[in-house]
């Protein structure tokens, strides 16, 4: 992600904000070099409160999740509910969770991720479409539906 963002610095005015624990970032000298190269164009927040997270996401140009694996995909789902367009990895559960409400990238393809970052950052029509479809998609995932599906699976398992 850092290398992909570094490729597009001269094409978009955005900052990259990395939210969450950053202990692992400091463990790899290559990441330190990438962070240093990005300078003020990257911000690491560390852990933040849930209300602060919602504010960051609601005002972001996009949520980018270019990970190799995701368990369920709550961050993009929460971003979609907040009206934030999403660029997500083709890996793990993200395609199933996000459906047609997100833009996808191959997390192993640095130039492809960079291209998608520019696309989502500069195409207002695309962002508006993703915002609308993302909000609709997020409405499909309620805790009530989750509980009902879990109960149905438990009933099936003990039958």
Going from N- to C-terminal start, the domains of the chain cover 2-158
Sequence-ordered alpha helix ranges (H) in 50-123: 50-58, 74-81, 94-98, 110-122
Selected residue with higher pLDDT from 116 and 150 = 116
Q: Note the pLDDT tens digit of each residue in 85-133.
A: 999 999 989 999 999 999 999 999 999 999 999 999 999 999 999 999 9
Task: Round to whole Å and give the CA distance between 52 and 112.
Answer: 30
Cα–Cα distances in angstroms (integers) from residue 101 to residues 7, 120, 135, in the given order: 26, 13, 8
- Which pLDDT score, from 0 to 100, does residue 63 have? 97
Q: Note the pLDDT tens digit of each residue in 65-74.
A: 999 988 888 9
Task: Round to whole Å and give the CA distance between 150 and 159.
Answer: 14
- Which pLDDT score, from 0 to 100, does residue 30 have? 86
For the domain covering 2-158, report its CATH number: 3.40.50.2000
Cα–Cα distances in angstroms (integers) from residue 107 to residues 35, 58, 124, in the given order: 18, 24, 23
- Report the run of H or E that residue 124 belongs to, with start and end: helix 124-139
């Amino acid at each position: 992600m850092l290398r992909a963002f570094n490729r597009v610095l001269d094409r978009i005015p955005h900052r990259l904000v990395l939210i969450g624990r950053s202990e692992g970032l400091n463990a790899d000298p290559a990441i330190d070099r990438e962070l240093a190269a990005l300078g003020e164009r990257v911000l690491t927040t560390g852990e933040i409160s849930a209300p602060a997270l919602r504010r960051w996401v609601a005002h972001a140009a996009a949520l980018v999740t270019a990970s190799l694996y995701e368990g369920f995909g709550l961050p993009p789902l929460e971003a979609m509910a907040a009206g934030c367009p999403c660029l997500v990895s083709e890996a793990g559960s993200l395609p199933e969770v996000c459906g047609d409400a997100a833009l996808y990238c191959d997390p192993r393809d640095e130039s492809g991720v960079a291209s998608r970052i520019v696309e989502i950052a500069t195409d207002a029509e695309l962002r508006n479409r993703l915002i609308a479809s993302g909000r609709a998609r997020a409405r499909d995932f309620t805790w009530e539906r989750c509980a009902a599906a879990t109960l149905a699976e438990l009933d099936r398992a003990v039958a």
